[in-house]
Chain A
């Protein structure tokens, strides 16, 4: 990069890279590698789920029927919608559309918050019905094999909880992006953070796409 750089203005290219192309490729590869670590992280939970479900499929199906399929479906639509707005935000950032970027980031955050709100409501509902076997709370299970049903709810809270934690982290990052975007940054050559956050947000979305059927849709209703 032989171009003259005016001092004081921010530059898109970090000193260790030769050109923006190299920098973008490195950023993207780094993010994909990070997402692969996330897959391994969630993988442990999915493994535990698979093992315990195969031990007693009937109990897992019965416990699954206690979850609110309607709210779960609504949340799935909400989260997929937020992925759409996120993808459009990346597009807006690359095309120097500042207003659009700000609005789309806000829309993504609103949808993310709706998802967490619905999730919180579902958690509260389970607590009211004595289906929250955490912290020694009572667990009333009328059906057979309460142990396995309890394991289902343990896993339900762990898996959706870890997922919700990732949503919260994503919302925090989006918040920073929103502040920067409203100041007219993150456009064009500077749009890499939006692009990388988008990858992360889609990943969190995809995890839910696997969680939803495994937790809500097993066993014929």
Chain B
């Protein structure tokens, strides 16, 4: 961007000099963390909390996969199984995927990328974490105290009238957490509008900011609709009124409309930030400007707008009118256009790039492949006739896991690795990181590809007793899940290890463009010594590399620097 990045060296700390002040050593007390308004510290708080809920959701999935190893119900009872897949869905969707990239990477990076000192509303940001954590613990309590067996979708009238499980408590927990989402989205939109550094025009913004902005729009406009739907379910249970109860003249389908009006856009809350991460990683590890910057940016907005118009494709077999179904089918096809624009632009960026396969790039490439598969099968299920065949089968389960895990989680992990040196001030062990990226890719495919076949053959979702002939594919899936679990365990271990034993990270280990790399790692509390002034387009890799080659004689590869610091 503005400043030409001179080659930095990770100079060994001088024992006579006092250590540099940065956001991590600004205070060590519990109070300095729990009452912080520093966006970087709040990002760390979110990182810890969402990792916790990810583990909880993962444990539920583990039992589900273990139980599905055999066709009989031998590990858990049917009711327990229902509660387990509900717990997995609720935890992963509301407490991991939706907050993951926005709350952790977004919180950390948005002000840094904009050249700002903090988000527009730092105290609201802290409130967002408290609200999230209280909602999460409340829901966790509901899960442990008795569980919920409605599935994460809470379809009425089962959830409002018949289920005797902790529906109320779970609804309250999710309702509370929704405010966290709203506050985060609101904070980002205001910050991006009002707090950009001088010279940082909209078309000089990093693409990550574009995608976070589009995500925030969905968070702000979608989440309240989920809130009112859950409130109505709660009121129905509490006050014995019949908004969704057919016995009292209500319509259960209305709940599905309201629920999916939020929950379909919510899928884009999960995937758009990952797309933003990939749009940062791919140019850096190709040493090229992204192909079609404006197309990638505007496609984020197109996805956000379309996302609000496609909810009806979840209701093809719920008794929705056939004409409604046709319109929703067509609109769902239209979402494929901006999504494909992104995939084509990333691959065009790769063309003739100087590609290196560091860990973030492995995740980004994995994302592109898996997202493409998830997206293409999305077209299958958006087709009215095909959906009748695969609706509520494992085909759907495989489809949305390719988007939510193959897409969103790969992007999240790629982003965590890419910005880890900035966040922690340490480098992670590259060998282990690559190994786990590859493990996750193969483990993921082994887990979920068989589920496409299972679903197409007719195995319904949410059943744990199934015909004998499905066992082989289910065992394959469970075996893949164990590899996937190992793949997730490694980053958790070596990233923690690197906090103490990792090599000290230079300010810009990837020789990447972007304001966040122009401040030391980890950044000082006030982010920048003085507000940066931007005079140039984003992703000017040619100039960065040109300067490095002429000035230092180093090879123009993002790894060159890293190798110096790792092996030198």
Chain A residues, Cβ within 8 Å of B187: 30
Q: Give 24 CB contacts A-B under 8 Å.
A: A15-B118, A16-B117, A16-B195, A26-B120, A26-B194, A30-B121, A30-B124, A30-B186, A30-B190, A36-B221, A37-B182, A37-B220, A37-B224, A44-B225, A51-B254, A136-B240, A147-B248, A150-B242, A151-B248, A151-B250, A154-B242, A154-B243, A154-B248, A158-B241
**Any A CB within 8 A of the CB of B55:** no
Count of B residues near A, CB < 8 Å? 42
**Any A CB within 8 A of the CB of B235:** yes
Distance A25 CA – B195 CA, assembled complex (angstroms): 10
From B117, B124, B243, residue with most partner A Cβ within 10 Å: B243
Q: A16-B195, A43-B225 are in contact. Are A151 and B118 (CB under 8 A)?
A: no
**Any B CB within 8 A of the CB of A4:** no
B241 contact from A22, A33, A40, A133, Cβ within 8 A: A133
From B121, B221, B241, B250, residue with most partner A Cβ within 10 Å: B241
Q: A25-B194, A26-B195 are in contact. Are A40 and B249 (CB under 8 A)?
A: no
**Any A CB within 8 A of the CB of B519:** no
Chain A residues, Cβ within 8 Å of B241: 133-134, 154, 157-158
Chain B residues, Cβ within 8 Å of A162: 231
Interface string of A4-40 (1 = CB under 8 A from B): 0000000000111110001001100110011011101
Chain A residues, Cβ within 8 Å of B235: 158
A16 touching B224, Cβ below 8 Å: no
From A48, A51, A133, A147, residue with most partner B Cβ within 10 Å: A48
From B119, B228, B231, residue with most partner A Cβ within 10 Å: B228
**Any B CB within 8 A of the CB of A148:** yes
A151 contact from B111, B224, B242, Cβ within 8 A: B242
B239 contact from A36, A134, A148, Cβ within 8 A: A134
Given contacts A17-B120, A17-B195, 11 further A-B contacts (CB under 8 A): A16-B117, A26-B193, A30-B120, A37-B220, A40-B221, A41-B225, A42-B228, A44-B224, A136-B240, A157-B239, A158-B241
Residues of B179-233 at the interface with A, using a CB-CB cut-off of 8 Å, are 182, 186-187, 189-191, 193-195, 220-225, 227-229, 231-232
**Any B CB within 8 A of the CB of A45:** yes
**Any A CB within 8 A of the CB of B116:** yes
Chain A residues, Cβ within 8 Å of B222: 40
**Any A CB within 8 A of the CB of B258:** yes
Q: A15-B118, A148-B249, A151-B242 are in contact. Are A33 and B186 (CB under 8 A)?
A: yes
A77 to chain B, nearest CB (A): 29
Chain A residues, Cβ within 8 Å of B249: 52, 147-148, 150-151
Which residue of chain A lies nearest to B117 when distances are taken between CB atoms in the complex?
Answer: A16
Distance A51 CA – B235 CA, assembled complex (angstroms): 19
Interface of B is mostly: helix
Chain A residues, Cβ within 8 Å of B195: 16-17, 22, 26
Chain A residues, Cβ within 8 Å of B124: 30
**Any B CB within 8 A of the CB of A47:** yes
Residues of A124-149 at the interface with B, using a CB-CB cut-off of 8 Å, are 133-136, 147-148
Interface string of A173-188 (1 = CB under 8 A from B): 0000000000000000
**Any A CB within 8 A of the CB of B122:** yes
Residues of B87-120 at the interface with A, using a CB-CB cut-off of 8 Å, are 111, 116-120
A15 touching B223, Cβ below 8 Å: no
Interface string of B110-153 (1 = CB under 8 A from A): 01000011111110100000000000000000000000000000
Which residue of chain B lies nearest to A51 when distances are taken between CB atoms in the complex?
Answer: B254
**Any A CB within 8 A of the CB of B392:** no
Count of A residues near B, CB < 8 Å? 38
B225 contact from A40, A51, A136, A155, Cβ within 8 A: A40
B242 to chain A, nearest CB (A): 7
Distance A154 CA – B236 CA, assembled complex (angstroms): 10
Distance A34 CA – B187 CA, assembled complex (angstroms): 10
Q: A16-B195, A30-B186, A33-B190 are in contact. Are A44 and B220 (CB under 8 A)?
A: no
**Any A CB within 8 A of the CB of B251:** yes
Distance A15 CA – B227 CA, assembled complex (angstroms): 33
Chain A residues, Cβ within 8 Å of B189: 29, 33
Distance A144 CA – B125 CA, assembled complex (angstroms): 53
A47 touching B117, Cβ below 8 Å: no
B186 touching A51, Cβ below 8 Å: no
Chain A residues, Cβ within 8 Å of B225: 40-41, 43-44
Distance A14 CA – B116 CA, assembled complex (angstroms): 13
Q: A26-B195, A37-B220, A154-B241 are in contact. Are A16 and B248 (CB under 8 A)?
A: no
Distance A191 CA – B227 CA, assembled complex (angstroms): 31
Which residue of chain B lies nearest to A161 when distances are taken between CB atoms in the complex?
Answer: B235
Distance A17 CA – B116 CA, assembled complex (angstroms): 8
A41 touching B228, Cβ below 8 Å: yes
A219 to chain B, nearest CB (A): 19
A150 touching B220, Cβ below 8 Å: no
Distance A158 CA – B239 CA, assembled complex (angstroms): 10
Residues of B246-265 at the interface with A, using a CB-CB cut-off of 8 Å, are 248-251, 254, 258
A37 contact from B190, B223, B229, Cβ within 8 A: B223
B219 to chain A, nearest CB (A): 9
Chain A residues, Cβ within 8 Å of B117: 15-16
Distance A147 CA – B251 CA, assembled complex (angstroms): 12
B239 touching A22, Cβ below 8 Å: no
Chain A residues, Cβ within 8 Å of B121: 26, 30
Q: A37-B223, A41-B227, A154-B241 are in contact. Are A16 and B122 (CB under 8 A)?
A: yes
A37 touching B221, Cβ below 8 Å: yes
A48 touching B254, Cβ below 8 Å: yes
A150 contact from B116, B191, B248, Cβ within 8 A: B248
